[in-house]
């Protein structure tokens, strides 16, 4: 008998999966210094890592289960972590944007240095802007994109509190329906997908592209081979 598809994850397995992904992303520098995070939608609701914890040391009992039917306003906790000192992630309204506006199955927030530097290339003062990429094979890892397409990713300005990014992220998502990512200047990137596998694939592809753009710039190579359409 064939094994189940890799994306076929039961609700019981999701907390451990979030911990596994956070350990993996920690090695990539995406969730160091307690930053970043991962959230996955299951049948019961939305599973989410807590705020301000060592992401590589989390255990399944640290993961929140939130009501996925109430995505506006305050979060409704269906099952809190066993540790009463833990708090819901500051990223929660941003994760909810992807669930509410795009029907996402999973969201990854990365503090990758490549996301930060790539955003800086196109937004030198941290202002709202647009990252552009073209003619890179790894664009195929992104929904609806081929390697020769012009990829345009919105960049929003950072705010003092993560939760204050919610409105500008929503506006960027509405303005860029063809991409599943929003860069935050001086901060990182939010990437989502229809399920956790697509979210991970897209987050990895974006990180590769961000690094390619930064390294090309460092080497003095053109970073957008063709003029913008
Ligand atoms: Zn962040």
Residue 86 clears pLDDT 50, i.e. is over it: yes
Average pLDDT over residues 69-77: 91
Residue 29's nearest CA partner among 138, 188, 162, 136 is 188
Domain with 47 in it: what CATH number?
A: 3.40.225.10
Average pLDDT over residues 139-148: 94
Q: What is the pLDDT of residues 119-135, one digit of tens each?
A: 999 999 999 999 999 99
Q: For the chain, how many structural domains are there in total?
A: 1
224: in domain: no
Three-class secondary structure of residue 90 per DSSP:
coil
Distance 114 CA to ligand 1 centre (A): 14
Residue 227 clears pLDDT 60, i.e. is over it: no
Distance 152 CA to ligand 1 centre (A): 21
How far apart are the C-alpha atoms of 134 and 209, rounded to whole Å? 10
Of all helices (H) and strands (E), which one includes residue 219?
A: none
Q: What is the pLDDT of residues 166-201, one digit of tens each?
A: 999 999 999 999 999 999 999 999 999 999 999 999
In the chain, % of residues over pLDDT 70: 94
Residue 5 clears pLDDT 90, i.e. is over it: no
How far apart are the C-alpha atoms of 8 and 6, rounded to whole Å? 6
37: in domain: yes
How far apart are the C-alpha atoms of 187 and 158, rounded to whole Å? 7
Per-residue DSSP letter, 88? B
Q: Which residues are catalytic?
A: 137
Distance 2 CA to ligand 1 centre (A): 39
What is the predicted pLDDT for the residue at 229? 46
138: in domain: yes
């Amino acid at each position: 008998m064939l094994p189940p598809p890799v994306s076929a994850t039961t609700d019981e397995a999701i907390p451990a999966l979030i911990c596994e992904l956070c350990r993996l992303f920690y090695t990539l520098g995406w969730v160091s210094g307690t930053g970043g995070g991962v959230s996955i939608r299951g049948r019961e609701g939305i599973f989410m890592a807590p705020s301000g914890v060592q992401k590589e040391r989390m255990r399944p009992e640290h993961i929140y289960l939130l009501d996925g039917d109430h995505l506006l306003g305050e979060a409704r906790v269906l099952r809190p972590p066993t540790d009463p000192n833990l708090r819901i992630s500051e990223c929660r309204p941003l994760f909810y944007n992807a669930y509410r506006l795009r029907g996402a199955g999973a969201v990854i927030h990365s503090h990758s240095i490549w996301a930060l530097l790539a955003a800086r290339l196109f937004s030198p003062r941290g202002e709202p802007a647009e990252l552009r990429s073209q003619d890179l094979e790894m664009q195929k890892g992104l929904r609806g994109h081929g390697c020769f397409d012009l990829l345009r990713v919105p960049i929003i300005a950072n705010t003092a509190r993560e939760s204050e990014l919610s409105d500008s992220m929503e506006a960027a998502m509405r303005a860029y329906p063809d991409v599943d990512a929003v860069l935050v200047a001086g901060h990182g990137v939010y990437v989502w997908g229809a399920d956790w596998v697509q979210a991970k694939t897209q987050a990895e592809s974006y990180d590769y592209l961000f690094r390619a753009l930064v390294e090309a710039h460092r080497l003095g190579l053109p970073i957008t081979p063709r003029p913008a359409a």
